[in-house]
Structure 1
Amino acid sequence: MVDWVRLELDVEAFDDAAFERYPRRAREAGIDFATLADLGDTADHRRAVYELNKTCSADIPERGEFFSYEEYLAQRIEVPTFDPAGIVLAIRDEAWIGMSATSLRSPEVAFSEMTGVLAPYRGQGLSLALKVPAIRFVRAAGRRRLVAFHHPRNASAIAMNRRLGFVGQGGSAAD
């Protein structure tokens, strides 16, 4: 059994300005950002989010088989915690190359479902660039904390979130 790393961010204390350079650099490199709400929460877009999430999740250590599309819809989309504004997409030449999906779990807490970037676009700060509007979404939704769980061998995701100010918290993935 994996002892997942639980990280938490105080959204109210997050300093947007300290990280604005990441989305700005991405835009200068021809990458745009939009939410699923901006683009339209359609069946085709849901399928595209699923495919992007599936591809990005393949690199998570010990991830195992990804959900079927029907399971994904039932567990991530067709649930009360879903908001299409919580899915931020990185787009280059109309192709979706990265995502950050966040769900609203309680009146106080949001959950970072997935932040991932396709392999050819990694190492450019896109994960950080995606998390900035995701954190703004959480703040605008009135949540105070953003929680993320990571496999302990997913060092790059852990480091990225720590860089943003996430700190370790007690508890398990079942919390």
Structure 2
Amino acid sequence: MNVTQTSFTLRALRKPDDYPGAARVLTAANPEWPVTPDLLAVWDGARDPALFYTEAVAEAGGQVVGAGGIGHDDFAFEEWRYWGNLAVHPDARGRGIGSALYDTLLERVRARGAREVRTMLTDAPHHDPGRAFLERRGFCVSWERYESRLNTAEVDLGSLGGLLDRVQSEGLELRSVAELADDPERDRRLWELDWLLFQDVPMGSALTKRPFEAWVRQEVEDPTFAPELSFVALRPGLDDPLTGPYVAYTTLMQTPGGPYVIGMTGVRRGDRGRGVAKALKVAAMRALAGRGGGEIRTMNDKPNAAMLEMNRALGFKRGPTHFRYELHLGGGA
């Protein structure tokens, strides 16, 4: 990308025409987590229509050079809380594009009575300008999430087989989400289990339950989701009214850049302390190795010491720290 003009125009995102340009900007600004035009289209379509969301792009020389959006936080919904993100292509920085996008988006949510805005950046060097941008505008770090990484080629997965045998000897079955496709209640049971488990994850927020239809679009139907590499632990004979025989699960998603990402790993309270979560991760790692292997990334919040230790024991190594930034705008009771 080579944009030498100093002038730019802010305008609404034109769908689907602007998806390639927006994807190019977002990928250049955060190369470790690339996105594609198709993914942007899917993510737009998967948003809960009941929640507010607005976006804008900056154009210069006929190209999209900046993109941003802000809307309700569907994981921790409050009418006055918003989650935002913006990016400017590295070749177009230093011209006030980020400031203009920021001011425009912030004004839109201020007009709606916004009292808090959140976003997240890592301590990776390419995010240094973004963190400085936020801090100049009064954002403060409110939470830390640690990223860990593992390559299946660097782990002796054969030595972990005993863990799977031990869990199965206790009456649990480990099956991939793909293998459960014949269960007509699979998605609803996973939705209920996901909500049950997330309430015990120390995320520093009071979480809200996403509507079933939105959850399915955002999780199971997302093109990055790998159902054959995501595993569920079942206890045959158990018939919980919400989750049926499902007692634990772990999910893997494949990013456009190649690495896989663990979306969720959790176990119902009554089945904890038996190595089930670890066994699920091992099952996913072995399934991935059987397809040629690759890198797996996972994120755990700072207080989640048990999961951080489990990942370390499996061979995961610490990567970047993800910082949640908050801006408090005042107002309210």
TM-score by length of 2: 0.49
Structure 1: gaps of 5 or more residues = none
The alpha-carbon deviation at position 154 of structure 1 amounts to 0.7
Partner Cα distance (1:158, 1:108) in 2: 23
The alpha-carbon deviation at position 38 of structure 1 amounts to 1.1
Partner Cα distance (2:231, 2:218) in 1: 18
Alignment counterpart, residue 210 of structure 2, candidates 46, 49, 67: 67
Give the counterpart letter for 1:24 in structure 2: D
What SS does structure 2 have at the residue aligned with 1:112? strand
The alpha-carbon deviation at position 28 of structure 1 amounts to 1.0
Partner of 2:233: 90
The alpha-carbon deviation at position 171 of structure 1 amounts to 4.9
Larger mean Cα displacement after TM superposition, 34-43 or 149-158: 34-43
The alpha-carbon deviation at position 133 of structure 1 amounts to 1.1
Partner of 1:102: 252
Identity of aligned residues (%): 25
Partner Cα distance (1:143, 1:129) in 2: 18
Give the counterpart letter for 2:318 in structure 1: G
Q: Check whether the contact 2:150–2:315 (CA below 8 A) recurs between aligned residues.
A: yes
Partner of 2:180: 39
- Counterparts of 1:1-175 in structure 2, within 5 Å, are 1-40=142-181, 44-61=185-202, 62-63=204-205, 64-94=207-237, 95-106=245-256, 108-172=258-322
Give the counterpart letter for 1:28 in structure 2: S
The alpha-carbon deviation at position 68 of structure 1 amounts to 2.4
The alpha-carbon deviation at position 173 of structure 1 amounts to 7.1
Cα offsets for 1:89-117 (capped at 9, x unmatched): 11112411110111111352000001111
The alpha-carbon deviation at position 41 of structure 1 amounts to 6.1
Structure 1 moving runs of 4+ over 3 Å: 140-143
The alpha-carbon deviation at position 143 of structure 1 amounts to 4.9
Give the counterpart letter for 1:20 in structure 2: G
What SS does structure 2 have at the residue aligned with 1:100? strand
Partner Cα distance (1:129, 1:81) in 2: 23
Q: Check whether the contact 1:6–1:168 (CA below 8 A) recurs between aligned residues.
A: yes
Q: Check whether the contact 1:138–1:146 (CA below 8 A) recurs between aligned residues.
A: no
Partner Cα distance (1:52, 1:111) in 2: 19
The alpha-carbon deviation at position 66 of structure 1 amounts to 3.4
The alpha-carbon deviation at position 141 of structure 1 amounts to 4.1
Partner Cα distance (1:131, 1:101) in 2: 9
The alignment yields a C-alpha RMSD, in angstroms, of: 1.9
Larger mean Cα displacement after TM superposition, 37-46 or 12-21: 37-46
**Larger % of helix: which?**
1
Larger mean Cα displacement after TM superposition, 103-112 or 35-44: 35-44
Residues 25/101 of structure 1: CA separation in 2 closer, same or farther (3 Å cut): same
May I ask how many residue pairs the two structures share in their alignment? 174
Q: Check whether the contact 2:151–2:293 (CA below 8 A) recurs between aligned residues.
A: no
What SS does structure 2 have at the residue aligned with 1:170? strand
TM-score by length of 1: 0.90
Q: Check whether the contact 1:5–1:149 (CA below 8 A) recurs between aligned residues.
A: yes
Tell me which of the two structures has the higher relative contact order, counting C-alpha pairs closer than 8 angstroms and 6 or more residues apart: 1
